[in-house]
Structure 1
Amino acid sequence: MNDRQFGARLTADGASFRLWAPAAKRVDLLLERAQPMRRSEGGWFAADVSGARAGVRYKFRIDDEVDVPDPASAFQPDDISGPSEVIDHASYPWRASNWRGRPWQDTVLIETHVGTFTREGTYLAMIDKLDHLVAMGITAVELMPLADFAGQRNWGYDGVLWYASDSAYGRPDDLKTLIDEAHLRGLMVFLDVVYNHFGPEGNYLGRYAPAFFTEAQTPWGSAIDYRVPEVRAFAIENALYWLREYRFDGLRLDAVHAIAEPGEIAMLRDLSVAAGNLAAESGRHIHLVLENDDNRASALDAEEGPPRGKYRAQWNDDYHHAWHVLLTKESQGYYSDYQRSPLHDIACALGSGFVYQGEASAHRGGQLRGEPSGNLAPTAFVSFLQNHDQIGNRPLGDRLESIADPKAVEAALAVTLLAPMIPMLFMGEEWGSKAPFPFFCDFKGDLAEAVRKGRHQEYAWAYAKYGNDVPDPLAKSTFQSAVLDWESCNGQAGQQRLALVQELLATRQREIIPRLAGAAFGNADVADTGFLTATWRMGDGATLQLAANLSSSEMAHKLGEATGTPIWGGETNGVIPPWSVFWRLEAR
């Protein structure tokens, strides 16, 4: 049942328009002519227009002072400040009509940015690459945020109109076609959504609904006040909108630690319950994932059926940071928390999830961070070596492949792609792409200059070191440099890396995924030499065993005491080469 309060809805004889504008005295609906909207209790304005059809464009006029788009607009053909367009979501002829999704344990993610995934930068152009992803062993495509943003290029985290898929990538039916084609190939599709702030340009809510915001600030703007029922409903209905109207299989909620709600974040609980109800009603697998710097293990439950207040998993930044420090020796910023013993931190993440489970973080001024996580299922953690943040928030946007030993990266991949956590790649990582992914946006005027100034302040050391080599985030050429270099996957190095990743994911599909339901953490240990061992109890009672030389020196070591059957890496004759990884399974 679709009973959402926000946005335009088609009716039997036309369309119904609604706007929550508690600070407005008068609101007019602008179609071919202006017509007053009736005000009702709670600050709602409404108008029913007979004869209105899909495709009609409209705006709202507030107090005869400013014309604004619908904050729940389904589409903005002329960008964020233009008119909103009524979309008939029910008219799309879904082909994968029997698709119900896949269990969470099946998930192998690849994070993608629609605008740079192909030269064309559109939803429809992505379809031609889906067979490549299936052949690699990917089972789920995650799209960076699509909510309408200012201009023609953006990472997506500056979205202002949460319900409108950005017109730079195509029309709503194009997005549905992409999702439909993915489902026909057995691929899940996830969407990254941002509920901690609105973008800096095109947000008119403060004019007619200031109750949307608190006095608190996030790093990106005013905090949203989810204590207000209408505000909470706006976000929860948005999540259901993407899941229902576009049939996304799951959502990744960006930086929920920046949601300014004291104590337990009730909005997150309510959103999870609502998604769980949708999953139960529709018989679909729906998966919700968090990014949460607070490492709140209590928010997670990977094996619960439909989500009932909790979340399948969290992006495990700890896992990434420890590997990054080991592979690059970098120690600036948050990497400083992992420089003492990155090998130990990797073992901790493999053995119990988070590295920080209540310990003090020096980078955060001694603040205690995290909760114990070892009693969670390993699948409550999404593990990765690269993502948009960890590449794009570097001054040059350079990937791990450009700054680390390829053999070491391959060892890290062999651990990440076979461990019982949920693995994620960043687009192009499967062939070792070196295409940068720098920060880019398309603001104008004073806001553009403010972004430039902010970047210069944040990365002063980089501008002093690299000068004009640091890309200008506002330049179109910066965006163009981030377009994925598909041609490089045909070179020798690209083909070798593709073969490695394909073989690893085939092994995961064959040996790991069938045993993931009910799996549990075991033990992990690492020697000063760099020799790592770890075990997990799998859902069928088997023991998964990892042994790895995570150093640049060969070492004498016998794996003969391990009683399991080799599934990756083969055997050794007492000498383990540098950056070598061995996986075994011991049946119950």
Structure 2
Amino acid sequence: MLGGHRLHHVGGERRARVLTMLWLLSPQTPMFFMGQEWFASSPFHYFVDHKPELQAVVRQGRDAFIGQFESARHALEREGYEEHVDERAFRRSQLDWTERECRTGPLTLHRELLRLRREDPVLARQDGHQLMGAVLSESAFLLRYLGGEEEGERLLLVNLGSELELSPCPEPLLAPPWDEGWRIGLSSEEVRFGGTGSCSLDSLRGETSWRVPGMTALWMTSTRESRTGPGPRMAG
């Protein structure tokens, strides 16, 4: 990204927590920029140490690559932007390690999500073939993780917009497995992660509707413990 801006610099910390949950709960192996796990204040520039004649060629190649993005191409070609890739970029990218002590919310979120990747049997398989998805609105979607009979299933709700009400609820992937219900495992808005507080399952579902909170990601597991009545528990 031009300027070395981090995700939370561009979209704010609340949106960054949502996207962090999506990123770390997806099947692929995640990769981090140093300091991202605590939302470091320093940028992360691209920097190299080549001889002058090679440096110019490297710059041309990098400009051509990032020029595939329209905004970056406009900045390079029309606005005269020149990205620093030398020692200045290296110095600006150095981390302030004391931030780890005061930015505990993002750090706790990353640790909890990585623990889930290790310990949850459905996630630990990292099997993209057992993943289904559906779009709920222009800014919201869900991912359904299929597990075995003993493991149950998982649901990730991602809403990058305002509160969404589905009434009546038309999406079958929101329905829990037969004879089971959903339990909220993690929310990007938990206070320990730096949020303003999570929601309860009761606040999500009505008799015929779902209400998905805005700018929030929710990780849910299927469980018989949340069953309150006879027969299957449906989403809407």
Same fold (TM over 0.5): yes
Cα 1:529/1:583, change in 2 over 3 Å: same
Structure 2 gaps of 5+ residues are 188-199, 205-210, 225-236
1:566 aligns with 184
Residues 527-585 of structure 1, C-alpha deviations (whole Å, 9 max, x = no match): 22534222222256534332424232112359995413332235241443212222222
Distance 1:517 1:471, change over 3 A: closer
Cα distance, 1:434 vs structure 2 = 3.8
Given the alignment of the two structures, is residue 427 of structure 1 paired with residue 45 of structure 2, yes or no? no
Tell me which amino acid in the other structure corresponds to 2:8: E
Residues 58-457 of structure 1 correspond to what in structure 2 (within 5 A)?
394-452=1-59
Q: Deviations for 1:186-222, whole angstroms, at most 9, x for unmatched residues? A: xxxxxxxxxxxxxxxxxxxxxxxxxxxxxxxxxxxxx
Among all aligned residue pairs of Structure 1 and Structure 2, give the percentage whose two residues are the same amino acid.
Answer: 22
Pick closer, same or farther for the CA change 1:445–1:512 going to 2, 3 Å: same
Amino acid aligned to 1:526:
V
Q: Distance in 2 between matches of 1:561 and 1:497?
A: 31
Instruction: Give the Cα separation in 1 of the matches to 2:59 and 2:27.
Output: 42
Q: Is the 8 A contact 2:183 2:201 kept in 1?
A: no
Contact 2:42–2:93 at 8 Å: present in 1 too? Answer: yes
Kept in 2: contact 1:519–1:539 (CA 8 A): no
Conserved 8 A contact 1:520-1:539: no
Task: Say whether residues 1:480 and 2:63 are aligned partners.
Answer: no
Helix, strand or coil at the partner of 1:396:
helix
Q: Equivalent residue of 2:3, what SS?
A: coil
Return the alpha-carbon distance in structure 2 between the equivalents of residues 568 and 471 of structure 1: 39
Amino acid at match of 2:23: T
What is the alpha-carbon distance in structure 1 between the residues aligned to residue 113 and residue 36 of structure 2?
14
Amino acid at match of 2:120: E
Distance 1:540 1:519 in 2: 18
Instruction: Look up the equivalent residue of 2:201 and give its one-letter code.
Output: E
Give the secondary structure class of the aligned counterpart of 1:426. Answer: coil
Task: Provide the C-alpha distance between the structure 2 equivalents of 1:419 and 1:460, rounded to a whole number of angstroms.
Answer: 30
Structure 1 pair 460/548, CA: closer, same or farther in 2 (3 Å)? closer
2:75 maps to 462
What 5-or-longer segments of structure 1 have no aligned partner? 1-393
Return closer, same or farther for 1:557/1:500 CA change in 2, 3 Å cut-off.
farther
Q: Higher Cα Rg: structure 1 or 2? A: 1
Question: Is the counterpart of residue 583 in structure 1 residue 219 in structure 2?
Answer: yes
Q: Deviations over 1:127-185 (max 9, x none)?
A: xxxxxxxxxxxxxxxxxxxxxxxxxxxxxxxxxxxxxxxxxxxxxxxxxxxxxxxxxxx
Measured after TM superposition, the shift of residue 485 of structure 1 is: 3.1
Pick the aligned partner of 1:530 from 139, 152, 158.
139
TM-score (norm 1): 0.28
Q: Deviation per CA, 1:43-83, whole angstroms, max 9, x where unpaired?
A: xxxxxxxxxxxxxxxxxxxxxxxxxxxxxxxxxxxxxxxxx
Q: Which amino acid counterpart does residue 462 of structure 1 have in structure 2? A: A
Q: Kindly provide the amino acid, as one letter, of the partner of residue 484 in structure 1.
A: L
Cα contact 2:159–2:215 (8 A) shared by 1: yes
Cα displacement string for residues 384-416 of structure 1 (whole angstroms, at most 9, x for unaligned residues): xxxxxxxxxx33222222211321221111223
Aligned in 2, Cα 1:421/1:465: closer, same or farther, shift over 3 Å?
A: same
Aligned equivalents of 1:452, 1:518: Cα separation in 2: 38
**Superposition deviation, residue 424 in structure 1:** 3.3
Aligned partners of 1:418 and 1:504 also within 8 Å: yes
CA 1:454/1:556 → structure 2, altered by over 3 Å: closer, same or farther? closer
Aligned to 2:163: 554
Aligned residue pairs total 190
**Shift of residue 525, structure 1, vs aligned partner:** 0.5
Q: Give the structure with the larger helix fraction.
A: 2
Instruction: Give the alignment's Cα RMSD to 1 decimal.
Output: 3.5
- Find the residue that maps to 1:422 and give its secondary structure: coil
**Partner of residue 231, structure 2:** none
Q: Structure 1 residues 572 and 557 mapped into 2: Cα distance closer, same or farther (>3 Å)?
A: farther
Structure with greater contact order relative to length (CA < 8 Å, sep ≥ 6): 2
For 1:472, give the aligned amino acid: H
1:440 alignment partner, SS class? coil
For the Cα contact (< 8 Å) 2:132–2:143, is it kept in 1? Answer: yes
Q: Distance in 1 between matches of 2:46 and 2:126?
A: 38
Q: Is the 8 A contact 2:158 2:217 kept in 1?
A: yes
What letter matches 2:87 in structure 1? K
Q: Which residue of 1 aligns with 2:114?
A: 505
Matched residue SS, 1:441:
coil
Instruction: Output the TM-score relative to the length of structure 2.
Output: 0.63
Alignment check: 8 A CA contact 1:534 1:547 kept: yes
